[in-house]
A and B are shown apart, each in its own frame.
Chain A
């Protein structure tokens, strides 16, 4: 079942197109990673999903309901953290949580509120004013507020902003727990690609408001489509030798100081042996399997899109 269905979504600011006919689907139980460089249109898309801004064109359906007509029903089942979640600095964490819970339509007991604060590691600061909190603590409180009404869909825009490594790890564990134990559907955008890599089950990469790639993490990390980067002293000569060998069909677009090949992960030792036989001086031979590599390739070089989408 599709929890979010976006069709031909566009947002225009004068002559600038922030989001350009974007379509994607988030299925129930997905941890959907939403990736793109700064200004790619991620935040604009998320703001349209949260009804903060009006789309210029296109349709958004959430829980199979059109967002334009069922805003309240949809938001009642949705929790969101948009960028740096700001709360009322003159109120305590407890009061902020209680206030936003009431706005979300729920009224919990004191112990339930404390439990929520415990979940985001703020129980011991529950009654301190937020003005004394660090950005990381505010971020945790924002996540607590997003979860306080037990939503089915959680939308997180850069949720680890301002967090220290321990905080990032805590949020990652929380997301995994929400996804695996609580069966929540999560849409998450982040510039920390390594974070997305560890939690996302499906991914969307956008650039200049347009969809570049959408697919499952399994596809992305398919070992039969591993990218390998070879650094050598004489790139042109090495490329010619490889082209003439059995590795010719594995060559992919390369940089000026490296050569890239796509192959099954198990074939890397054989490539290593062949490079020696072909008398190619190897400076380094590295697997490129991380999301960051794909992300940069797709959004910067616009290469290897086929690798992922295939």
Chain B
């Protein structure tokens, strides 16, 4: 199993396609950072337009923490596509090139093969998020500096002290890793049903788009399935940036407003991963390898 896992990682990181996602993320984040560096003040005053009449805000509003939040809001919609590029190709790519035929003549267990491949795609997903963190958070901190973080919610605003932000980002990135490995698991499962990479990649994206629509539309029929859709829970990372308040409506540093929401979403995402990977293992064990 360990050997298989090492080999899968070796294969992933020797493929040129792997680095497309890293390059795309670098370009996307770089563009946002450049835009905010050049015209950031205008953007911030536009965002704060409603508040400026009631509040007097001082300090570096457009700091690295705030920029990272903007980047994550924009990027975490697109990262699933980049993950699908690799995850949905894990089995179908081998079938397409014909290497699956040779692999399956080797003394390796099919279940171990599937698990090693999924673990390798998990590592890829996590490394992609680490890359996002390095670019979006650390580079933004260097470019824009640090200060307290001001976030606007739908009906209220949250001000997080600068010494209370970092652990929230650590939590948010860990949660995003869980959400993205769920996407990887879905792509991985779908990759069993095709002998080319395009089909499973498109299918993965289609499932995500349809599920996201169902998650966001407020229609009673859809509301029944919403709590069980993984896309509903993929945005729960934002809960790390909300604080509990005391009876005076003052934010309590070091707290989370809805920790149970994070816990429930994590359980639902983990369940999806187990179902997707379990189904992939069962199907692959019985599958005839024809190409």
Contact = CB atoms under 8 A, between A and B. Distances in A.
Interface of A: 47, 50-54, 71-76, 78, 80, 82-91, 95, 99-100, 102-105, 142, 145
Contacts of B108: 72, 103
A82 B98 CA distance: 10
B4 interface: yes
A238 to B, nearest CB: 51
B219 interface: no
B14 A103 contact: no
Given A47-B289, A54-B286, A80-B105, 9 more contacts: A50-B105, A51-B105, A52-B104, A72-B109, A75-B106, A80-B102, A83-B101, A88-B14, A102-B3
A20 to B, nearest CB: 18
Contacts of A73: 107
B7 A82 contact: no
A91 B14 CA distance: 7
Contacts of A51: 104-105
B101 A82 contact: yes
Contacts of B4: 103
Interface residues of B, number: 24
B274 to A, nearest CB: 26
Contact of A86 (B11, B16, B98, B286): B98
B288 A90 contact: no
Given A52-B101, A90-B16, A103 B3 contact: yes
Contacts, number: 76
B106 A100 contact: yes
Nearest to A74: B107
B104 to A, nearest CB: 5
9 interchain residue pairs of minimum CB distance = A86-B98, A75-B107, A53-B288, A103-B106, A52-B289, A80-B105, A76-B107, A72-B107, A50-B105
A82 B102 contact: yes
Contacts of B286: 54
Interface of B: 3-4, 7, 10-11, 14-16, 97-99, 101-109, 286, 288-290
Q: Which residue of B11, B16, B104 has the most chain A CB atoms within 10 A of its CB atom?
A: B104
A71 B105 contact: no
A100 to B, nearest CB: 7
A72 B1 CA distance: 13
A52 B107 CA distance: 12
14 contacts: A47-B289, A52-B104, A71-B107, A72-B108, A80-B105, A82-B102, A86-B97, A87-B102, A91-B14, A100-B102, A100-B106, A103-B3, A103-B108, A104-B107
Nearest to A51: B104
A45 B104 CA distance: 15
Q: Which residue of A54, A71, A86 has the most chain B CB atoms within 10 A of its CB atom?
A: A86
Contacts of A89: 97
Contact of B102 (A54, A85, A95, A105): A85
B9 to A, nearest CB: 12
A156 to B, nearest CB: 11
B118 to A, nearest CB: 17
Nearest to B11: A88
B98 A52 contact: no
A99 B107 CA distance: 13
A102 B290 CA distance: 24
Contacts of A83: 101
Contact of B7 (A47, A74, A85, A99): A99
B102 A145 contact: yes
A121 B32 CA distance: 53
Contact of B99 (A53, A78, A88): A88
Contacts of B109: 72
A202 to B, nearest CB: 23
A78 B103 CA distance: 13
A103 B103 contact: yes
A136 B64 CA distance: 56
Nearest to B109: A72
Contacts of A74: 107
